[in-house]
Amino acid sequence: MKRSVLGLMALLVLCSCNERKSNEVKPPTRVKTMVVSPGMVDNAQTYVGIIEEREATAVSFTGMGVVKRVLVNEGQAVSRGQLIAEMDDTQARNLLAGAEAQMAQANDALERYKMLHDNGSLPEVQWVEIQSKVAQAKSQLEVARKNLADCRLTAPVGGIVGKKLIGAGETAMPSQAVVSILNISTVKVKVAVPEAEIGGIGANTPTSIRVDAIDGSYQGGRIEKGVAADALTHTYDIRINVANDGRRLLPGMVASVRFISEGSQAIGSKMIPVTAVQRQADGSLFVWKVDQQETAHRTTVTIGQTEGNYVLVKDGLNMGDRIVTEGYQKLSEGTKVIF
């Protein structure tokens, strides 16, 4: 009887464990993904470019002094006129107090001598001398006020703080940059082009730009061509203007640049990495597509021409679809993913 009861209890425990295991939710599988975006298919060469800011402004004090505090950090957005840093203003305030005292003294003397001058009791030479002293005192007061105002450093332009070069407690020299402010509302992609190919590029040559760091694709704007070649590499620097809505493109990022020639299939072409395409047992090709619920599904695709590490997708995907590019070995139909 005891053995029967113990056996029944063991069976119940085993069933409970199996039920618990079946109800456990597997954690999402971490993968890398990309969004399908327009690409191009032609025989043009791919160039490596570097993102640059549209404009960089070095912000510095006009005088020498000890920095009391710096109020901004690298990467912070600032507006024109915003306070950036302050310098110790003790000496400037003392000089201002002295200049104000001299100004008061000169004005008092002017009032006294004016009565004598109006009565004709003051020689004209002395009257001119008094007026000159008042003008000198006024000039010194204006200089003292400016010196005090210059202890506060404000942003001359709006943008993003690139680098903070001086911290609190350090001595700032005249014209020594405290911070740099970068204008990245639009950016430039700098590319070195061989001299044999520079002639085929114009100011309005269309370009396709890919930045893997932010998984983004862009269409380039107006091109600025350099006229001086590098003496060693015989290449010319060109810069492609790119709109930077949302400020996702940051200086220093690496970009892949292609110049779109006539007859290329840039508009509407869907380019994905070759490694993202898998083959099923029946020979058909598929990719792992991630839906809105972050679930992976096999999606059959038809591919076309390959270009470097990318392949043209003719059918099966739409612009904006998200596909898995790395980590697909761990997936099965319906797997939850995180990216």
pLDDT band of 94, cuts 50, 70, 90: very high
Closest by CA to 141, choosing from 178, 96, 173, is 96
Single out the residue of 179, 165, 147, 128 nearest to residue 64, CA to CA. 147
DSSP string, 1-56: -HHHHHHHHHHHHHHHHHHHHHHPPPPPEE-EEEE--B---SSPPEEEEEEEEEEE
∠ Cα 291 294 300 (to 5°): 40
Tokens linked to 325: 């590019």
Taking only the tens place, the pLDDT of each residue in 207-230 is: 889 998 888 888 889 999 988 888
Using the predicted structure, report yes or no on whether residue 89 has a pLDDT greater than 80. yes
Q: Which of 303, 307, 223 is nearest to 264 (CA)?
A: 307
Q: Which CATH number fits domain 89-150: 3.50.50.60, 3.40.1190.20, 1.10.287.470, 1.20.1440.60?
A: 1.10.287.470
Q: For residue 318, what are the CA distances in angstroms to 261, 272, 297?
A: 24, 12, 15
Question: Can you give the pLDDT at residue 308?
Answer: 60
CATH top-level class for 46-55+184-259?
mainly beta
Would you say 261 and 202 are in contact if contact means Cβ atoms under 8 Å apart?
no
In one-letter notation, the amino acid at residue 176 is: Q
The token duo for 312 is 């043209």
Q: Is the pLDDT of residue 2 over 50?
A: no
User: What are the residue ranges spanned by the domains of the chain?
Assistant: 29-40+269-338, 46-55+184-259, 89-150
* pLDDT at position 22: 44
pLDDT of residue 40: 46
Distance CA 168, CA 189 (A): 35
Q: Bridge-partner residues for 323, per DSSP?
A: 34, 289
> Which residue bears the tokens 């109020």?
71
- For 280-303, how does the pLDDT look when each residue is reduced to its tens digit (9 = 90+)? 889 899 999 999 899 999 999 998
Q: What is the pLDDT of residues 13-23, one digit of tens each?
A: 455 445 444 44
Output the six-digit token pair for 113.
């001598």
**Strand pairing report for 223-225 and 32-35:** unpaired
Q: What is the pLDDT of residue 23?
A: 47
For residues 333 and 35, give the distance between their C-alpha atoms in angstroms, rounded to a whole number.
Answer: 20
Q: Can you tell me the distance from the alpha carbon of 170 to that of 179, in angstroms, rounded to the nearest whole number?
A: 13
Handedness of CA 201, 203, 206, 210 (dihedral sign): positive
Distance CA 290, CA 4 (A): 52
Q: What's the CATH number for 29-40+269-338?
A: 2.40.420.20
Q: What is the pLDDT of residue 309?
A: 72
- Which residues have C-beta within 8 Å of that of residue 199, sequence separation ≥ 6? none
Convert 113-155 into a string of H (helix), E (strand) and C (coil).
HHHHHHCCCCCHHHHHHHHHHHHHHHHHHHHHHHHHHCCEEEC
Question: What is the per-residue pLDDT across 50-82, written as a single tens digit (0 to 9) for each?
Answer: 999 999 999 999 889 999 999 999 989 899 999
Structure confidence by residue, pLDDT tens digits, 249-291:
999 999 999 887 654 444 456 778 888 999 988 989 999 999 9
- Mean pLDDT score of the chain: 84
In this model, does residue 113 exceed pLDDT 70?
yes
Least confident span in 1-15, 46-60, 136-150, 178-192: 1-15
Q: Give 191's contacts (C-beta < 8 A, 6+ positions apart).
A: 47, 48, 49, 237, 238, 239, 240, 257
Residues 6+ apart with CB under 8 A from 319: 36, 37, 38, 270
**Sign of the four-CA dihedral 81, 87, 92, 94:** positive
Give pLDDT tens digits for 36-52.
Answer: 876 544 445 678 999 99
What local confidence, expressed as pLDDT, does residue 307 receive? 66
Average the pLDDT over 101-118 and give the result.
86
Contact of 44 with 193, CB cutoff 8 Å: no
